[in-house]
Amino acid sequence: MNRNFLLAAQALLLSWTSLAGAEVVPNLYQADVPVAEQSAAELRRAARAGLAEVLVRVSGQTDAERNPALASSYADAERYLVQYRYERNSVPGAQPWVARLSFAGDQSERLLRGAGLPVWSANRPAILVLLAFDDGAGRGLVSEANHPELVTALREQARRRGLALHFPSAGADEQAMSVDDVWQLDTAKAQPALERYRADSLLLGRLMQVGGHWSGEWSLVSGEQNTAADAGGENLSAALGPAFDKMTDALAAQYAIAASGAAPEGVLLRLSGINNFDDYAQALAYLQRQGAIKAVMPLQVSGDEVILRLRIVGSAEQLSRQLALDSRLQPQQALDNAAFANQAIDMQYRWMRPAG
């Protein structure tokens, strides 16, 4: 690669459109709020509730809604709307209308930064759910085929908090892991399923319904972190909501990017495995769509390696955790620095060309 190649790649960055990441959660800045009527007063109320939901989802923090620095924003929530429409509510006995609200992503993020809260990008860990359910008549593993109502309730919790859940097909994992193993929340025996589904995190749970009472216990494993949660109540939402809030907050603590701790001059990334222009363009586009990276500047090329300056939000450690969500970049250590002797390298990775 030569200087002309480098200039061409820099130009490409200016026009590259974003592509899907390892697991991109859609509609982070959208909220659906039931309303009694299509009036200005109801729209104001819905906008306040919708903005609070969005800021909790994007920050990854349950208590973001109660942050005093955001109080004035809720009072004027309509100014952050970019689009809204009304739809008939299909839920029996609920308010007759649903206001579907879309908020400005950049303004929402500025509100969070201004309040000292982190921002969690749409690129989030893929979570495999292995759930054992006991309805009093027996236990079984939950799948979309045999317990669609439970899967729907879990997906609603995931939508509320911006999680990416995946469920096994009926019977797919019963030979590898028994219902009793799941019921015991045995994370060690669940690892083969986690690897088979290529998920980033594992959510083991046991859920019980006795009469009109629901109770659940959960174990979320993400990297070296294991978060336990439990909740119960007279309906399924009460048995899921508080537990999902606790687990999501813990997950966000790993991946949400805080404004503090960013290197003022950026970080230098040494990237090997760049064998041609396509590799270069794909690698730079991949970096651009990471939420922690605000700008990418190519600095130097030598053989199949490049040096990039990354302007990031948060720390290099937080960026490393985000990059570990998929296998596109493989960490490298103790590489020979002869070709880049004048550069103080902060991070070293190898670009793994996508299959096909």
pLDDT tens digits along 170-221: 655 555 578 999 999 998 888 888 778 878 899 999 999 998 899 999 999 9
User: Which pairs from 172-176 meet CB under 8 Å and 24+ separation?
Assistant: 172/143, 173/130, 173/141, 174/141
pLDDT in tens, 78-136: 999 999 999 999 999 999 999 999 999 999 999 999 999 999 988 899 999 999 999 98
Tokens of 162: 């911006």
Query: How many whole angstroms separate alpha carbon 51 and alpha carbon 66?
Result: 12
- C-beta of residue 250 within 8 angstroms of C-beta of residue 258: no
Judge contact between 126 and 296, C-beta under 8 A: no
Q: How far apart are CA 256 and CA 163, in angstroms?
A: 13
List, by residue range, all CATH 3.40.50 domains of the chain: 126-255
- Tokens 């800045």 locate to 29
Domain 126-255: assigned CATH number: 3.40.50
Question: How far from 125 is each of 25, 222, 249, CA to CA, in Å?
Answer: 9, 9, 13
Per the listing, tokens 């070296």 go with 224
The residue among 294 and 30 whose pLDDT is bigger is: 30
- Rounded Cα–Cα distance for residues 289 and 105 (Å): 15
